[in-house]
Structure 1
Amino acid sequence: MTIIDKHFQEMLVKVKDFKLYVELFGNKDNKPTVVMDAGYGDHSKAWKNIAPEIAAFTEVVLYDRAGLGNSEKSSDPRTSDHMVDELKEMLTSMTIKPPYLLVGHSFGGVNMRLFATKYPDEVSGLILVDSTPEEYKERFLPTMPAEFQKKYKKQFVLEGNYQEFMGSLKLAKETRRQLDIPLIVISAGKKAYYSVRSQELWNNMQQELLTISTNSRYIVAENSAHYIQYDEPMIVVDAIWSLI
């Protein structure tokens, strides 16, 4: 474990037969711990510019999923059910006690949804940042140009394959149930390469995620592409603060 200052630590945490790289910011101070999960192929760096902002008012956990960043590889399939189990074991090993405020970007939103579904009593809130809808393949992908679809399918070489990714979306659909926790869905309003029709469909599918919870709120980041935490970071920070 490395302690850079009293508000930041980095460490490798043993999970199953490998180690996950973790960064810990701030102090809990009787508030929920914010746990952040990045998109497909991304790792902790995706949150680096907003983690210090959040750490000003509570504890923040960033980590690299197995096989990404500074984490070791896992021998388990790269599907969300295994990732959720690994995250749970990591938090337990670090003695970071609930409640957790979960924040997931893109594919990380699928993981955080499943975590909240599996451990609802440990979760105080859920924030989905341009999260991948469970019916992306069936409803959204066909609306995009053939070249986009081709490139999309070829990207799955960093962390699991296309079948595993789609298996995670299927799992999210199969296990979907209504939660009784605060939920904020943040949708990117200026997606790159999207036609007007595709952007409208994307926003509609994001709004459909609101039904995951009995207590939900929808925000459109009008000037953001997919990485809202880069384009309009304070929208994400303010959403987290509102649930803290």
Structure 2
Amino acid sequence: MRIPRLPKSLKSLLYLMGINHLYQLFHNTPLARKWFMPGKRVDVGGYKIHYHMTGPVQSTETPTVILEAGMGGSTPYWTAVAPIVAKFAPVVSYDRAGYGWSDNRTEVCSIECLVEELHTLLKEANIQPPYILVGHSFGGVVNRLFTQKYPDEVAGVILVDSATLWKGKKGFEKHNRKARVRNTLLKMGFPLWIAQLNLLHPMMLKPLKDIPWRTKLALFNMFFLRKSARTYLTELSIVADCVEAAEQESSLGEKPLIVIRHGKEVSDTAPEMLKETEKMMIEAQERLMKLSSNSRMMVAKKSGHQVIMDQPEVVVQAIREMQKFLLEGWTPPKPAKKAADSENTAVQTS
């Protein structure tokens, strides 16, 4: 009996599935960690978290910069920020449990879990305060709660297009329900490809030729791991509760705060609903400045939501300004220039 030949497209799919399966098995082996993992792993209570620390020796005069990625993000997301910051300050990026080189959690995730995970990591890795917390998107929510719980350990906070209740509570509840449906489908055996494609999106925003080869491997490592996709969906299902918890504990007192928001506007031909949504998002970012009586705003005019990849220099500038403020205080903003500087970053004080 002659076995029918498989179509080329099906063959290719089977090859990819096989390679992907082998990669899942290889990922957490000692060999993979030895050659491809930047940084170290530390036990935070039954599971290990990966972190990467670079830059000068820690000191009270130069607070350590802690980089907190958004949903789906981890250490490689900061590839255009961390190396530059390391030239003038100690800087730490890390993978939340379930992402990249970190193990899965041993308990159900919550915002309190995320805050304690970071705090335990810093303690066990002997990364001493004070800290400058830099949080992108969902990472900004984690940083807000961390600052509220451990105010004496935080010197300043930088929120990069941070998640807020811009949709209103009903909007977030709808978003939360969708995420829970996805999780249910996942438990029933629904493929992870959709979640993995969501994780791939930020990589498309930065040309691969601009990324060091080791970081390219780390990026692929993160995007194609099933555990990272599962963690991404899990965080999607709790984002509403996390943001609402942060809103309930809203004040940072006099803690120095810089809010960075994206500045790329929607097209004039975009649907009115999209324009209205964008307007609400901008207003929500401006409200974040009220978290502190000592706040400032920066606008990344060429960026969409992925500011850390679209305009990483804006994030670096904010870290420099925060560091300078902690030594000297805020300097008056420069007068806005016309035409020639219209594309540059705008800085405002509260």
Which interval holds the TM-score relative to the shorter structure?
Answer: 0.7 to 0.9
Distance (Å, rounded) in 2 between the aligned partners of 1:241 and 1:10: 24
TM-score by structure 1 length?
A: 0.87
The letter for the 2-side match of 1:103 is: V
Shift of 1:170: 1.8
Tell me, yes or no, if the aligned pair for 1:110 and 1:131 is still in contact at 8 Å.
yes
Shift of 1:141: 6.2
Tell me, what secondary structure is at the counterpart of 1:195?
A: helix
Structure with the largest fraction of helix: 2
Partner of 1:220: 299
Partner of 1:15: 44
Cα 1:48–1:161 shift into 2, 3 Å:
closer
Residue 149 (structure 2) pairs with residue 118 (structure 1): yes
Partner of 2:332: none
Aligned with residue 247 of structure 2, among 173, 193, 200: 173
Tell me, yes or no, if the aligned pair for 1:79 and 1:165 is still in contact at 8 Å.
no
After TM superposition, the structure 1 stretch with the greater mean CA deviation from structure 2, 28-37 or 204-213, is: 28-37
Instruction: Extract structure 1 runs of 4+ deviating beyond 4 A.
Output: 139-142, 149-157, 191-194
Pairs within 5 Å for 1:66-145 = 66-138=97-169
Identity of aligned residues (%): 35
Partner of 1:158: 231
Cα 1:141–1:167 shift into 2, 3 Å:
closer
The letter for the 2-side match of 1:78 is: C
- Residues 13-69 of structure 1, C-alpha deviation per residue, up to 9 Å, x if partnerless? 110110001101101353000001000111111111110110000100000000001
Tell me, what secondary structure is at the counterpart of 1:158?
A: helix
User: What is the aligned length?
Assistant: 236
- Residues 56-103 of structure 1, C-alpha deviation per residue, up to 9 Å, x if partnerless? 001000000000011001122222211110110110111111100000
The letter for the 2-side match of 1:39 is: G
Tell me, what secondary structure is at the counterpart of 1:214?
A: coil
Cα 1:201–1:153 shift into 2, 3 Å:
farther
The letter for the 1-side match of 2:241 is: G
Partner of 1:64: 95
Cα 1:135–1:84 shift into 2, 3 Å:
same
Shift of 1:179: 2.4
Shift of 1:161: 4.9
Tell me, what secondary structure is at the counterpart of 1:126?
A: strand
Distance (Å, rounded) in 1 between the aligned partners of 2:139 and 2:167: 15
Tell me, what secondary structure is at the counterpart of 2:285?
A: helix
Tell me, yes or no, if the aligned pair for 1:77 and 1:164 is still in contact at 8 Å.
no
Tell me, yes or no, if the aligned pair for 1:44 and 1:63 is still in contact at 8 Å.
yes
Cα 1:191–1:65 shift into 2, 3 Å:
farther
Tell me, what secondary structure is at the counterpart of 1:181?
A: coil
Distance (Å, rounded) in 1 between the aligned partners of 2:142 and 2:265: 22
Partner of 1:237: 316
Structure with the largest fraction of strand: 1
After TM superposition, the structure 1 stretch with the greater mean CA deviation from structure 2, 57-66 or 70-79, is: 70-79
Shift of 1:200: 1.5
Tell me, yes or no, if the aligned pair for 1:187 and 1:203 is still in contact at 8 Å.
yes
Task: Give the CA RMSD over aligned residues.
Answer: 2.9
After TM superposition, the structure 1 stretch with the greater mean CA deviation from structure 2, 76-85 or 124-133, is: 76-85
Q: Which runs of 5+ in 1 are unaligned?
A: none
Tell me, yes or no, if the aligned pair for 1:117 and 1:179 is still in contact at 8 Å.
no
TM-score by structure 2 length?
A: 0.61
Distance (Å, rounded) in 2 between the aligned partners of 1:208 and 1:94: 35
The higher radius of gyration belongs to: 2
Distance (Å, rounded) in 2 between the aligned partners of 1:161 and 1:183: 25
Shift of 1:196: 2.4
Distance (Å, rounded) in 2 between the aligned partners of 1:123 and 1:3: 33
Tell me, yes or no, if the aligned pair for 2:157 and 2:255 is still in contact at 8 Å.
yes
Tell me, what secondary structure is at the counterpart of 1:115?
A: helix
Partner of 1:52: 83
Cα 1:162–1:53 shift into 2, 3 Å:
closer
Partner of 2:224: none
- Residues 153-205 of structure 1, C-alpha deviation per residue, up to 9 Å, x if partnerless? 85684332544221111211222223221101111122678832222211100
